[in-house]
Structure 1
Amino acid sequence: MRNFKHLILSITGLLWVSAVFAQQRTEWLSTTPDTSYSTASDYKNNIKKFPQIKVVPEQAFNNVTENRELVYCTMGNRQLKLDAFMPKAKKKVPAIMIIHGGGWRSGSRQQHIPLAQHLASKGFACFTVEYRLSTEALYPASVYDLKAALQWIRRNAKKYNVDTANIAVLGFSAGGHLAALVGLTPNMEKFQKGECNDATSTAVKAIVDIDGTLSFVNPEAWETQNVDKINASAKWLGYPRTENIELWTEASPFTYAEQNRTPFLFLNSSVERMHAGRTDFKKIADKNGVYVEIKEFENSPHSFCLYEPWFTPTVTTITSFLNKVFKK
């Protein structure tokens, strides 16, 4: 009987190990891009509840030069692109890499061109960046891509008049999560193993998280409270929330909070679940003497940064924060 029980326990253990270290779900990949999330679709979803919203259009500024469709990484036939928006200045200027949202699965860099244009008019070189979405490649591919984009910006700093001592990473929603993850893991080898990664530094001077989750494993996290749901984060990581908790933890920016020394700006909607881990993160930052700002817009949708009346104060808050933390 003892041997039988031992056998059962061994089999159970093997099954558990097998579940934890099962291969990522490649069946969640798709040959068809997911275009379900766009500014137009988001506007349609929000206009009834927020009838005052107005989509911010692209706008050319006399003091800004634009250079679009730049290739920062080539993998076989696949090209990853970014758009550059540069202030007309005689001296080097600080830079912002802008990461779009869309549940790691949809969305596009073009959604934040208005933000890049307005911030460039304030004196920041801005780069809106494409990355591989979860229909094309699972975690950590997108992190590799964004680190490669940061390295490209640094390598091309002279051409685009960038002050490499003052680079920020900014993102909205899933892009906010990615901005936090990229910014909180400077020069971490396990996140820089892509085909286009090299030895160039990926350290940044500031992080701006616009309604992006900090953790998939924090008690406040949606994923923790809905462990059996297969949602966008699971399809990005390639595992259900019930499997490979180590990877879910690794991909959570909050995991790196204790070691962080980079100033952080949270811009948040009134959607509570998007704030998971924020309070605990600030407590750790305060303890370690790291500057953190939080601005929450009352009665606002998750995608507030795409619309007036929140777009202008968003630009103002970002500009004020970066001018405060960047070296002059």
Structure 2
Amino acid sequence: MALMDLGMYLAKSTWAVSYAAASFVTLVLSWVAITGTATRNRKINIILCVLSNQLSELPLTIMCTDACFYTWLNLTGTFQESLLVRFFYYTNIITAVGLLYLFKRSFEVQALGQKFLDQLAKESKDWIELPGPTTARFWQQLLSPFLWSGDYTLYENIPYWTSKEQLSVIKSDGWESAAEMSLDIYKPHTVEGGDDRPVLFYMHGGGWTAGSKKIIGPLLTEMISQDWIVVAVGYRLSAKAGYPTQLLDCKRALRWVKDEIRTFGGNPNNIIVAGDSAGGHMACMLALTPNQPEYQPGFEKVDTTVQGCLGLSAVVDLVDMNNVCNHDGRGRFIRDVAKREGSPDSADNIKFLSEHSPRFRIKGGAGIPFMIVHGDIDTLTPVQNTRAFVNEFRNKSNASMTYLEIPGGHHCFHLISSPRSWYTVISAGQWLTHHFDNVAPVDAAKKLQVHEIVEWGWTV
């Protein structure tokens, strides 16, 4: 009997300590989510960013989880017996106030997005209202945040290398690295080969050394529902040569898409590059360096122009001369990503960083439309550099630049399904539709021009 009592006491103590620890962590993360507090350590910032993003985008889920935990402690009698639980119960009331504030902030994007859509409507005459509490879509997304349409066909892991490139990569980096050079195609069921639908060419983030093309988020869901062809691009994450291997791989993927996408119903002359974080950086670089031989080894004469660019939480300034990054961004990129020798502040490395910073690749004259989306409390890619890029683009280029700075948005907040994400995604989707989804229907004769995928040595 004594052993049973001891066991119950230890179990209750464990639950009490767990509740206290969870309450304390949630309180701290709520503060980080509200203020955008950062440290000088990149790894700690990544952890804080991932966790605070959950609180910022899913505050009601966090509150419900806490309520379930609290109910369990009541049912087991732990609440009545533990001063620790009672103390942190009152602490959680403070946290709940913070979470409700975060939920309220997520709706600030509705006004921003609606103003943006109203401006688009003046040009297109196609007015759209963002979903609010009186609409079915609002409640579908709120109550089922991971709602995903299944009305598409997925073609997975299609390699985009040539046989010569494949052998070279296997020799230098191994088969696993060569397997990373593949893409996924999402084709809506309503689209047929030869339909010439717009193509969203999307590159995932992950600091150039991590991530997956399988993480596509609400934006790609939205565009698939609008009958766009979506291409999710994979690239080598651990090549011995380092960056710009990743960028060159994305150029190779673009080469393949231009040659083969009509088979899936996409238009090779209507490709919009997009990406988040490091993927956003490469989307901007693809858009700003078309047909440049140094980025197209072995396929220098292939046309790599695109029609538009959408950057989400994109890295646009690797130089960061004003040191607004919350960590040693230059040093990390030179050492761990580009794998270059010497000081990151040396003249040679600064030149390299400048050449691969979208901010310093902007040219005058005509260009393609850009849209940049960035959260105003991003601690991994500070918004100050993005503002400078946008201003420089508008001063140098005649092309249109649309910029949405999202209140309360952390780094890559748009990958989590939430009111803030969906208001942002719907706005971005309408921008894409406004600029690029105006192609006339394809006649039957042109559809017959679709060919089998044979040039690259495999069939689908």
Task: Report how many residues are paired.
Answer: 288
Query: Compared with structure 1, are the counterparts of its residues 115 and 236 closer, same or farther at alpha carbon in structure 2 (3 Å cutoff)?
Result: same
Query: Compared with structure 1, are the counterparts of its residues 312 and 254 closer, same or farther at alpha carbon in structure 2 (3 Å cutoff)?
Result: same
Gaps of 5+ in 2: 1-42, 62-143, 440-460
Per-residue deviation, residues 84-107 of structure 1 (Å, max 9, x unmatched): 011322521010111111111111
Secondary structure of residue in 1 paired with 2:247: helix
Are the equivalent residues in 2 in contact too, given 1:257–1:281 (CA < 8 A)?
Answer: no
- Match among 216, 228, 231 for residue 318 of structure 2: 216
Q: Distance in 2 between matches of 1:228 and 1:164?
A: 36
Are the equivalent residues in 2 in contact too, given 1:92–1:163 (CA < 8 A)?
Answer: yes
Deviation at 1:281, TM superposition (A): 3.6
Q: Distance in 1 between matches of 2:264 and 2:253?
A: 14
Q: How does 1:64-213 map to 2 (within 5 A)?
A: 64-73=152-161, 74=166, 75-76=169-170, 77=175, 78-79=178-179, 80-87=181-188, 88-90=190-192, 91-112=195-216, 114-134=218-238, 136-193=240-297, 197=299, 199-213=301-315
- Match among 403, 424, 428 for residue 318 of structure 1: 428
Gaps of 5+ in 1: 1-35
Query: Compared with structure 1, are the counterparts of its residues 200 and 161 closer, same or farther at alpha carbon in structure 2 (3 Å cutoff)?
Result: farther
- Match among 233, 245, 250 for residue 355 of structure 2: 250
Q: Distance in 1 between matches of 2:371 and 2:329?
A: 32
Q: Distance in 2 between matches of 1:208 and 1:233?
A: 26
Are the equivalent residues in 1 in contact too, given 2:239–2:245 (CA < 8 A)?
Answer: no
Query: Compared with structure 1, are the counterparts of its residues 266 and 92 closer, same or farther at alpha carbon in structure 2 (3 Å cutoff)?
Result: same
The structure in which a higher percent of residues are strand is 1
Is 1:46 matched with 2:53? Answer: yes
Is 1:235 matched with 2:336? Answer: yes
Residue identity opposite 1:256 in structure 2: R
Query: Compared with structure 1, are the counterparts of its residues 253 and 66 closer, same or farther at alpha carbon in structure 2 (3 Å cutoff)?
Result: same
Secondary structure of residue in 1 paired with 2:394: helix
- Tell me the equivalent position of 2:444: none
Are the equivalent residues in 1 in contact too, given 2:218–2:425 (CA < 8 A)?
Answer: no
Q: TM-score, normalised by structure 2?
A: 0.56
Q: Distance in 2 between matches of 1:271 and 1:135?
A: 32
Deviation at 1:118, TM superposition (A): 2.7
Q: Distance in 2 between matches of 1:41 and 1:83?
A: 30
Secondary structure of residue in 1 paired with 2:252: helix
Are the equivalent residues in 1 in contact too, given 2:205–2:278 (CA < 8 A)?
Answer: yes
Q: Distance in 2 between matches of 1:255 and 1:266?
A: 16
Query: Compared with structure 1, are the counterparts of its residues 115 and 320 closer, same or farther at alpha carbon in structure 2 (3 Å cutoff)?
Result: closer
Query: Compared with structure 1, are the counterparts of its residues 115 and 324 closer, same or farther at alpha carbon in structure 2 (3 Å cutoff)?
Result: closer
Query: Compared with structure 1, are the counterparts of its residues 256 and 228 closer, same or farther at alpha carbon in structure 2 (3 Å cutoff)?
Result: closer
Deviation at 1:42, TM superposition (A): 6.2
CA-based RMSD: 3.0
Q: Distance in 1 between matches of 2:357 and 2:218?
A: 29
Secondary structure of residue in 1 paired with 2:251: helix
Residue identity opposite 2:434 in structure 1: K
Query: Compared with structure 1, are the counterparts of its residues 160 and 282 closer, same or farther at alpha carbon in structure 2 (3 Å cutoff)?
Result: farther
Q: Distance in 2 between matches of 1:216 and 1:93?
A: 34
Query: Compared with structure 1, are the counterparts of its residues 129 and 56 closer, same or farther at alpha carbon in structure 2 (3 Å cutoff)?
Result: farther
Are the equivalent residues in 1 in contact too, given 2:241–2:339 (CA < 8 A)?
Answer: no
Secondary structure of residue in 2 paired with 1:230: helix
The structure in which a higher percent of residues are helix is 2
Deviation at 1:71, TM superposition (A): 1.5
- Match among 278, 294, 301 for residue 387 of structure 2: 278
- Tell me the equivalent position of 2:120: none
Q: Distance in 2 between matches of 1:311 and 1:51?
A: 11
Query: Compared with structure 1, are the counterparts of its residues 283 and 60 closer, same or farther at alpha carbon in structure 2 (3 Å cutoff)?
Result: same
Percent identical pairs in the alignment equals 23
Residue identity opposite 1:254 in structure 2: R
Secondary structure of residue in 1 paired with 2:409: coil
Residue identity opposite 2:424 in structure 1: T
Is 1:305 matched with 2:305? Answer: no
